Amino acid sequence: MNKTWFITGASSGLGKMMAERLLARGDRVTATVRREDALADLRQTYGDSLSVAKLDVTDTNGIRTTVDEAFQRMGRIDIVVSNAGYGLFGAAEELSDAQIDQQIATNLTGSIQTIRAVLPHLRRQGGGRILQLSSEGGLIAYPNFSLYHATKWGIEGFVEAVAQEVAPFGIDFILAEPGPTATNFAAGLMRATPTDVYDDTPAGAVRKALDSGDFAIKGDAGRTVDAMISAADSKTPPLRLALGSTAYENIVRELSKRLAGIKAQREIAFSADQDGSNETA
């Protein structure tokens, strides 16, 4: 049975590739882009199966209008893909205030407002699914990506809570967590002006690896998109979907270390309870 999709940030990368594969199998897609001509090739091939809307996700009113129009036009949207976002690269003190504000407005606030805008529609139609593009960087952290991680850790916490709120309405979520993947992500990075004080630090090492091409990128974009579509198609998808061996290994290692660290603090943790409240622990 054919499905209807709403995808933000579909101008290029994983978003555009997902739209193309969905259209090729006969689904209908509303795709949002920042450049009106970004999907001209797909519109020519797939005609009315593809609707394109110009949208900057930092414009909350624009999000609401675009979402309302998409649901009115398509009647029902089965899966919403909140994909719009980009990376901000630089040590925390190198970043400008404007860069920080733009990163948060796009990756975090934009994703939050997209989800908020679609929820009433999904609830009224009796359910639906939201696939939020996160990253392995929603659970781990690299030097030089502090603000990017702040947005991805933030959207993961938001989704964790909202998923519980709307589950009774038949609405569920997938947090897609790709590792480094061969897309145009690196080319689209917004960069801070580097300072030489970080040259001989972990931040400097990551910068050198990225600039030299030594930063390992194992993820395949096409296979990543296929895995996301497959998860979105399934009856019971996972809340979190790690994509790529790098993401899997990094997340398992970090969560195992974090769990071991918190378990070692059990006595301290319980000592902070009120007297008598942990007698049966």
Q: What is the pLDDT of residues 215-243, one digit of tens each?
A: 777 888 999 999 999 999 999 999 999 99
CA distance 221 to 235: 24
Catalytic residues, by residue number, are: 134, 148, 152
Longest dimension (CA), the chain: 70
Q: What is the pLDDT of residue 146?
A: 96
Q: How do the domains of the chain map onto residue ranges?
A: 4-245
CA distance 217 to 219: 6
Question: What is the average pLDDT across 179-206?
Answer: 85
Amino acid at 17: M
Residue 237 burial class via C-beta count within 10 angstroms: exposed 0-12, middle 13-18, buried 19 and up = middle
Q: What is the DSSP string of 29-94?
A: EEEEESSTTTTHHHHHHHGGGEEEEE--TT-HHHHHHHHHHHHHHHS--SEEEE-----EES-GGG
Which residue in the block uniquely carries the two structure tokens 């630089």? 90
4-245 folds as: Rossmann fold (3.40.50)
Q: What percent of the chain has pLDDT over 90?
A: 86
Q: What is the pLDDT of residue 1?
A: 74
DSSP H helical segments within the chain, as ranges? 13-24, 40-46, 60-74, 97-103, 110-124, 146-166, 202-212, 221-233, 245-263, 266-271
Give tens-digit pLDDT for 40-82. Answer: 999 999 999 999 999 999 999 999 999 999 999 999 999 999 9
**pLDDT-based confidence at 184, cuts 50/70/90?**
low
